[in-house]
Amino acid sequence: MMGMTPTQRATLEDVTQFIYREARLQDEHQYDAWESLWADDGVYWVPANGDDIDPEQKMSIVYDNRSRIALRIRQYHTGKRFGQTPQSRLRRVVSNVELIEDDGKQIRAAANAMLFESHPRGDVVWASRNEYTLRREGDDFRMVLKKVVLVNNQSALYSMAFLI
């Protein structure tokens, strides 16, 4: 990208690698490792019926705070949540990673994603624009926000048996 300083390029590379790792952990159902990427005040949001709805006023597909994210993972480990039995096979492609804002403490970034899901009921392709707010923590980041805007979020969706 033209006009980027070496520091901005290094930040973009670090953010890109973090986003790729987060996607891989989800694809491989490594939910404990995925959960460890979250900040204590993290919010995981998949809006319904538009990109910029107010999740406090309108329905979302997922709108979880950090506590609810942890609860989902604990419930998954009980073996009593059958939404993933058998587990979907997942692979996603993440592209067009952009830095939107960097205030020195937190970074806002965005990326496009295409996710292929294979499960007993059939195959599904999910497309989204993902927005991230990442907080610097030592040499790594923690997710403060992950917003997944599905391209088809205004339509009735098949059940989603995994965290997108």
Residues linked to residue 6 through DSSP beta bridges, in sequence order: none
| pLDDT single digits (tens) 105-143 | 999 999 999 999 998 888 989 999 999 999 999 989 999
Hey, which bits of the chain come out as E strands? 38-47, 60-65, 89-102, 106-119, 122-137, 140-150
| pLDDT single digits (tens) 6-63 | 999 999 999 999 999 999 999 999 999 999 999 999 999 999 988 888 888 888 888 9
- The pTM for the full model equals 0.92
Distance CA 153, CA 157 (A): 7
Residues with Cβ within 8 Å of 138's Cβ and at least 6 positions away in sequence, in order, are none
Pick from 59, 71, 61: nearest CA to 161: 61
